[in-house]
Structure 1
Amino acid sequence: MGQGDRPGRPGLTPLPRGLVRGIDAGRRLAGHPAVAAVGFTGSIPGGKAVQALIDERPDPIPFYGELGSVNPVVVLPSARREGLAQGFAASLTLGTGQFCTSPGLLFVPDDVELLTSLAEAVAATTGGAMLTERIRDGFLHGLARLGKLTPLAEGRAGEGAFAVTPQVFTTDLATFAADLPALAEECFGPAAVVVTYTDPAELPAVLDRLEGSLTATVHATDPEEAREIAGALLRKAGRLIWNGWPTGVAVRWAMHHGGPWPASTAAAHTSVGAAAIRRWLVPTAYQDWPAELLPLELREDNPLGIPRRVDGVPA
């Protein structure tokens, strides 16, 4: 029953008949014999709970989960500084930090001027409302975990129910590495850790220890300077970005919105973009079947006029 079907609640837009709400409904769906695959976007504990429900089924089905991502951004010494701090602050606070590609880790040279510009840019931002009270509480729990680090900047407080304030913390590379994986755990919302380094040659060993992310970003002007960094990040993310910010997600053929665990439970698939439909398609091959029994899409005369390949050649 959608909201529009409820007696005494006039004026509400009816919800689609296929939409159900609630944890109990989700449990029943994950175990229902008519369900052939499950998609999920949420926390790692939530995703593991869904997987456990699927494991209880007599017939296993695919699980396409998007569970957590810190989306590391590495700023190398050759990077252009103009607009860097403002770009980071804007990306961090877009949608009150509730984009799954929000930059939660920023590695920068230990430079007072750069840190100052980052702090000023974050301080100029304003918070907003989280989607639910539970998400807001999870954000506050994450801030408490990061509270042992040095505060770098705090934005202006948001207004309204479930509102939060952007906050950024800082630490040095050695301290960060000594407290992995805890310091690299996602804090869903407008919060990030800025990690300072003095020698970029020390970065790859630390990046290798990060868990998987949807994205990883490098800011540099010298490609050779970034070669080893790129090699480390290639193993950690589904989308690599050069001199940009990760929160731009376009629904295009080239988009890949996935990555190694825990970013995704199916790193070979994207959950955004034209190719995302492939998660829900079941291939069937017809070998030597009579034309009368073939689907219209496979008949020799192609009555539907669809683009297709014949013996691997577009036809």
Structure 2
Amino acid sequence: MARINMLSFTFCLLAILPGNGAVDSLRFLVIGDMGGLPVFPYTTPVERGTAKEMGIMASQYGPSFILEIGDNFYYDGVANVSDHRFRDTFEEVYTAPSLQVPWYLVAGNHDHNGNVTAQIMYTQTSERWNFPDLYYPLSFTVPGTSDTVDIVMIDTVSLCGNVLDDFHGYQPKAPENLKVAEDQWTWIEEKLAKSKATYLLVAGHFPVYSIAEHGPTECLVDRLLPMLYKYRVTAYMCGHDHNLQHLRTENEGIPLDFILSGAANFIDPSVEHVQAVPKGSSLFHWADLSALGGFVFTEVTANNMTFNYIDASGKMLHQTSLLPRKL
């Protein structure tokens, strides 16, 4: 079912849009854990397969930007701003003309193993790499409307601590610098409290909830989750676990969605923590070892925000539509 499903995908998109599909929208892709390999050829078949399908879909639907939510380079980030990995694992992989749009990035635990400052500095070198600081805000307007999308990009490693062994599901224990962590917690709450956006998203590397190898991140469940509820965040987006997931919880009748997109370089089928998330919250999990990865395509209109989970063959695996915030 490599390409025939694109027709049904188009139909599904148009079905959620008013006015015969002729409506303005904001579109973007969400990927995580794209980071290739530290040895030649510095990529994986999954990374290349995902990049190819991203290019095909982007050429058809014209995303305004791409979010990459951490682990940009395996296994130890980059050494400096001239590191060849920027070229071999990023620039020469995502080559489709349709992917030459702004990319907005945060750091993952593997990036923190290396020189994160170099990744931030690369913003001055690349025309599409946008990583201005460890954490920063983004704001977009849905074309043709007054509706807005705020995205709060956060650094979960400096909030919670690093995970030196990434292959045994260990939890981060504590932030390396408590003041740096507390400063960011304060900043996050300020940004969430001030947002009047139609849709409010938070994006970080570690998951709040996940049924896979790493499971819920205790630090984020303790500190971030109450803020997500309090300020009526539309969804939290993350990677870290190498699969695709959708979870949903509720607080006083208000839903909160968790969009996990971590299948852009490796695929891990673990469901080790299926009992560690709230009962009934796991709505979708995908980790097909025979596939070449996957990503999330997001479409935002005045009526809804739709997340479409796509594998590297172009098959739509799952779709969910979220309503504007009730402030």
TM interval, shorter chain, is: 0.3 to 0.5
In terms of fraction of residues, the more strand-rich structure is: 2
Q: Taking structure 1 as the reference length, what is the TM-score of the superposition?
A: 0.34
In terms of fraction of residues, the more helix-rich structure is: 1
Q: Taking structure 2 as the reference length, what is the TM-score of the superposition?
A: 0.33
State the structure with more CA Rg.
Answer: 1
Which of structures 1 and 2 has the larger relative contact order (alpha carbons within 8 angstroms, sep 6+)?
Answer: 2
